Chains A and B, each alone.
Chain A
Amino acid sequence: MSGTLLIRNPGTAHRKVSRHREAFTIPLMISAVFLLYAAAATGDAGSPDAVTTDAPAYGDAIVIGSIADARTLVPILASDGPSSEVCGMVFNGLVKYDKRVRIVGDLAESWEILDGGLTIIFHLRKNVRWHDGAPFTARDVEFTYKKLMDPKVKTPYSGDFERVKALEVVDDHTVKVLYKEPFSPSLSSWGMPMMPEHLLKNEDLNTTSFGRKPVGTGPYKFKTWKTGEKIELTANDDYFEGRPYINRFIYRIIPDDATMFLELQTQGVDWTGLSPLQYTRQTDNEFFRSHYAKFKYPSFGYTYMAYNLSDQKFRDIRVRQAINYAVNKQEIVDTIFFGLGRVITGPYMMDSWAYNKGVRPAAFDPAKARELLAQAGWRDANGDGWAEKDGSPFEFTLIVNQGNAERLRTAEMVQSYLKAIGIRMKIRVLEWSALINEFVNKRRFEAVLMGWFLSRDPDNYDIWHSSKTREGEFNFIGYNNPEVDKLLEEGRRTFDQAKRETIYHKVHEIVYADQPTLFLYSAETLPIVSSRFKNIEVSPIGIGYNFIKWYVPKSEQRYR
């Protein structure tokens, strides 16, 4: 553009130079004028040319780097990360979360909550079309609900919908959902992606080819899936929120993290997640600074060490408190996560309204820990470095799943802190499903290092309520506190956010005081994106929520 003016004219001017000295001056003056114009044009904001080069432009593609391939693109069957991510671009739910973590409409324009939560009426958007042109209607909602509840469909998401008493199609754009009892997480459960009835009504969802060629209402349409290599989506021109700027969404599968990092270094990947080490040390150079932008936001979960509360050793609350004082959680965050995480004290996301900021973490105090242990009867009588009670030393095994380097290092650090107060902790690494099925579910463990991924709604009845202790359920530590039980029941029955906040704050306080598990930390999620993408804004729900508004200025586009 302006650059070409610069190149051409001095060239043509010089060709005439050798002949006539007088003739030289005119082309020189012309080129000088052009040069000046070019200089002005490529200057900063104010001038018209600069604005047009940076304005939102359609085009380009984004290459997402993923360690694993998706499994299925039938949204209610998708339970793994990659499948959900791709489905998130192809489908919409009735509602979604905005950047301030509030529920806003997606396919539903508005809704009414009646009878204290027993009834929800959704008013759906009109003029939304499926990618094949058919209109989206309330019948699609009814169909999706029926499939969620169909026992023959292998969906893991039926739990939330079991509380629905009935679902009625009032008209093409109105759906009425009746609940058996008020259930406050119900609204957020309607973030579930909607499926097209007209395409799937005669299909077996488990085996349908739709899972490899989905049709949704979302901002991107499915184009191709080369197994193990990539999934490609193209922009939906008729998307109801406006066509996304970026033409193509390419999900590239690179199973090894070292290779992924090398690909970043050759710009083969535009968007991927970084480990804390990569974030702080490996991307701290000229190349990365000029080509990429790094972001961070709190992840949607936390890591903890759970005690088997039926084990003799951990029954005494003083032992659990001692361990709480003995482990320097901040140092763990600083060492393993390079400070990219926070110490937590309760079972909620730290930035959620449910988290009780008044509950402060206990100080790192090994002396106090030893004192508490002694009070509980554990003393190092024979000077061998290990605390004993009735002649036997304090020993236990912590089980961890393999495949998570940071979690393993956390275990190693905890081991070293406990050694300092005389507790001997052994680490046993198990393959994930063996860990869950043979040890956790069957309660054959002393302590286990795990993490929870939480949903946006803070109701965690399933984890802490004393009724959830059957094999395979999530209260596998055997926590039983009747006061907490009552609070959890109330919390999920009321829709009043202020009331729920008080309830959950109290739960947080009690649980921390009880120390049924050792709350450790919540790490940060660390995405890195090529700096040619503009309009990225970090929020508590991440960076992808406004993806359809990201764009690449024309001059920087790389792919067609």
Chain B
Amino acid sequence: MIRYIGKRLIGLVPVFLGITLISFFVIHLAPGKPTDIQTSLNPKVSYEARMRLEKLYGLDKPIGVQYMGWLKRFATFNFGRSYIDDRPVSQKIAERIPVTILINALALILIFAIGIPLGVISAVRRGTLPDRLATVFVFTGFSTPEFWLALLLMSFFGISLGWLPISGIKSLDFEYFNLPVKMLDVARHLILPVAIAAFGSLAGISRYMRSSMIGIIHQDYIRTARAKGLKEPDVIYRHALKNAMLPVITIIGLSIPGLIGGSVIFESIFAIPGMGRLFYESVMARDYPTIMGVLSIGAILTLVGNLIADIAYSYADPRIRVIKEE
């Protein structure tokens, strides 16, 4: 097992380097320098002042040098300092990661909790009304522009009904609450964002589950189980489901970049201080260190997610485990 993990980790290194290279490359497509936002549109900022700022940021060194410098610092998670406010990028990212991870983790849980049963129902009752309904439901989620749905739901639940807070992750007087109230407060704020994030991605899991399940149901060992006289629910849930779920685990890894990427829109609409919003602001301000930092961390999170999924899969799939141990 350990050897397996170790081998996978080593295999990740070139992937990792590739990530840093691509992030760096993407940023330098840009014309323009980060000092533009700060100094333009304000006639009081003189030419001399601007030139001074440019030198200070080190933008006059050649690209190769800039990349190597960045790579070296990356090893120690030192992404440099943000051009916007000179704070260490790692600090800025560290502030935002918990919220993003929380929301994405909750969304993933919800996706699995709803997507898997829906997929099973669709598979077992294939072609009938429940299958159709489930299909339409998950596809609706998949086909709706997220921010549109968010705004409509916010108006409905937040204003017309007044049940849920509109935006943010905590109330203004949060500091004065005791613990249980604090938890309830955060929960209320997160219901809409998590629900909408999950709704958009249900289709992937449930359809995959459906086809995986359908494939399994038609296999021989299932027919054997039925022939042996096992009751139908037993057949489905004990035998088929366990096996059908295995491939679905691998999808976890694939869902993560989608969730993280989608968080840009989300976090703007719901005023959530997460990584997606940080990324968007850095892009608009040409804050290169932060852009590269967030892109890389996002990719790393995905790598980690994939790795965990792989390990879980190899652990759960007895065939692989047996082979490995030989």
A residues within 8 A CB of B277? 228, 255
The B110-154 residues at the A interface (CB cut-off 8 A) are 151, 154
A155, B271: Cα distance in complex, Å: 30
The B77-106 residues at the A interface (CB cut-off 8 A) are 81, 84-87, 92, 95-96
Contact present for B85 and A72 (CB under 8 Å): yes
**Which among A154, A211, A262, A453 is the interface contact of B154 at CB below 8 angstroms?**
A262
- Measured CB to CB, the closest approach of chain A to B105, in angstroms, equals 19
Asked if A48 CB lies within 8 Å of chain B CBs, one says no
Asked if A473 CB lies within 8 Å of chain B CBs, one says yes
Contact present for A151 and B167 (CB under 8 Å): no
Query: 10 A-B Cβ contacts within 8 A?
Result: A71-B85, A154-B56, A156-B44, A157-B44, A160-B44, A227-B92, A254-B167, A262-B166, A438-B32, A451-B41
A residues within 8 A CB of B34? 433
A residues within 8 A CB of B17? none
Count the A-B residue pairs with Cβ separation under 8 angstroms: how many?
160
Asked if A396 CB lies within 8 Å of chain B CBs, one says no
The B11-52 residues at the A interface (CB cut-off 8 A) are 30-34, 36-52
Given A256-B268, A262-B158, do A463 and B273 touch, yes or no (CB 8 Å)?
Answer: no
Contact present for A470 and B47 (CB under 8 Å): yes
Asked if A21 CB lies within 8 Å of chain B CBs, one says no
A207, B37: Cα distance in complex, Å: 19
Of A93-101, A111-119, A263-271, A411-419, the stretch lying at the interface with chain B is: A263-271
Asked if B184 CB lies within 8 Å of chain A CBs, one says no
The A446-485 residues at the B interface (CB cut-off 8 A) are 450-455, 460, 462-463, 470, 472-474
**Which has the most chain A C-beta neighbours within 10 Å: B50, B81, B267?**
B50
In this complex, what residue of B is CB-closest to A211? B85
A160, B42: Cα distance in complex, Å: 12
What are the interface flags for A12-41 relative to B under an 8 Å C-beta threshold, 1 for contact and 0 otherwise? 000000000000000000000000000000
Q: Which residues of A does B touch, CB under 8 Å?
A: 61, 63, 68-69, 71-72, 79-80, 151-152, 154-160, 162, 206-207, 211-212, 226-230, 250, 252-256, 258-259, 262-263, 265-266, 268, 431-434, 436-438, 450-455, 460, 462-463, 470, 472-474, 559-560
**Which among B36, B46, B166, B172 is the interface contact of A158 at CB below 8 angstroms?**
B46
Q: Which residues of B does A touch, CB under 8 Å?
A: 30-34, 36-53, 56, 81, 84-87, 92, 95-96, 151, 154-155, 158-159, 162, 165-170, 172-173, 176, 267-271, 273-274, 277-278, 281, 284, 286
Given A158-B46, A158-B49, do A433 and B271 touch, yes or no (CB 8 Å)?
Answer: no
**Which among B39, B159, B267, B271 is the interface contact of A265 at CB below 8 angstroms?**
B159
In this complex, what residue of B is CB-closest to A227? B95
**Which among A72, A155, A266 is the interface contact of B49 at CB below 8 angstroms?**
A155
A268, B42: Cα distance in complex, Å: 32
- Measured CB to CB, the closest approach of chain A to B270, in angstroms, equals 7
Contact present for B48 and A452 (CB under 8 Å): no
Contact present for B172 and A63 (CB under 8 Å): yes
- Measured CB to CB, the closest approach of chain B to A193, in angstroms, equals 15
A151, B48: Cα distance in complex, Å: 10
Contact present for A255 and B268 (CB under 8 Å): yes
A452, B48: Cα distance in complex, Å: 20
In this complex, what residue of A is CB-closest to B84? A71
**Which has the most chain B C-beta neighbours within 10 Å: A72, A212, A262, A560?**
A262
Given A71-B85, A262-B158, A438-B32, do A79 and B42 touch, yes or no (CB 8 Å)?
Answer: yes
Contact present for B36 and A227 (CB under 8 Å): no
Contact present for B166 and A472 (CB under 8 Å): no
B residues within 8 A CB of A436? 32, 36, 40
Contact present for A263 and B47 (CB under 8 Å): no
Contact present for B81 and A266 (CB under 8 Å): no
In this complex, what residue of B is CB-closest to A71? B85
B residues within 8 A CB of A462? 43-44, 46
In this complex, what residue of B is CB-closest to A226? B273
